[in-house]
Structure 1
Amino acid sequence: MTAYMLAHLRKTEEIHPEVLEYLEKIQSALDPFSGRFLVHGGTVDVREGTWPGDVILVEFPSMAHARDFYDSAAYQAILPLRKKHLEGELIIVEGVEPGHDSAAMAAEVRKAIR
């Protein structure tokens, strides 16, 4: 099942050269794990709450691919370039099966809590 790596990174006034180096190297670290950017700092239209930063969303074929990417020597080598200069959160989350039905999911949850 498809998995996603989602990051919320806080904006800074100035982009540090090490962040640019990270950006230059990230795709080659993603490629062996079939990771591809779906969102990379696009415009954010905040409808609820606050969102002081950028969204990065990377798609992987599976949770294993996403975890293996994050733990890979190639990514761990460049990760400090970003982490030293940008605060934020990063999660890996499993996607849903094709045809996911939230109403059917709610019905299953209702059955389970009775």
Structure 2
Amino acid sequence: MSAYAIFIRERTRNAGELQTYAEMVTPILGGIDAKVLAAYGPQDVLEGASPEGVVIVRFPTMQAARAFYDGAEYQAAVRHRFLGADYRSILVQGIDG
């Protein structure tokens, strides 16, 4: 069953660290079975505070999403995201069929 990783950027603190993160994470995502469905596009916020940006990535399973997030390559990159901005990150199981 598909799974989705949702990354919600609330506030940028260091754009240079975010650039480093983007440069590191792009090839990681390109080398696995994942598809970026949305990345910092226009928003129409219906409820709550407006975030700076949202990224949604589809994985084939929750296990694949966790393996990506917990993997050594991503953990090396994510340190730069932590330094660069305040985020909320969520994994959610999809509904197939």
**Structure richer in strand, relative to its length:** 2
Deviation per residue, 1:12-59 (Å, 9 max, x gap): 3x7522211111121222234312210111111112222232111000
Asked if the contact 1:33–1:65 (Cα under 8 Å) also holds between the matched residues in 2, the reply is no
Gaps of 5+ in 2: none
Structure 2: which amino acid aligns with 1:57?
Answer: I
Tell me the TM-score normalised to structure 2 length.
0.89
Partner of 2:84, secondary structure, is coil
Q: Which residue of structure 1 aligns with residue 28 of structure 2?
A: 29
Does residue 62 of structure 2 align to residue 63 of structure 1? yes
Shift of 1:9: 0.7
The runs of at least 4 consecutive aligned structure 1 residues that moved more than 3 Å come to none
Aligned to 2:43: 44
Unaligned runs of 5+ in 1: 99-114
The size of the alignment, in residue pairs, is 97
Q: Please say if 1:5 is aligned against 2:5.
A: yes
For residue 87 of structure 1, give the secondary structure of its aligned residue in structure 2.
Answer: strand
What amino acid sits opposite 1:80 in the alignment?
R
Q: Is the 8 A contact 2:21 2:80 kept in 1?
A: yes
So what's the TM-score if we normalise by structure 1? Answer: 0.77
Say which structure, 1 or 2, has more relative contact order (CA 8 Å, 6+ apart).
2
CA distance, structure 2, for counterparts of residue 92 and residue 28 of structure 1:
21
Identity %: 34
For 2:63 and 2:32, locate their aligned partners in 1 and report how far apart those are by CA, in whole Å: 9
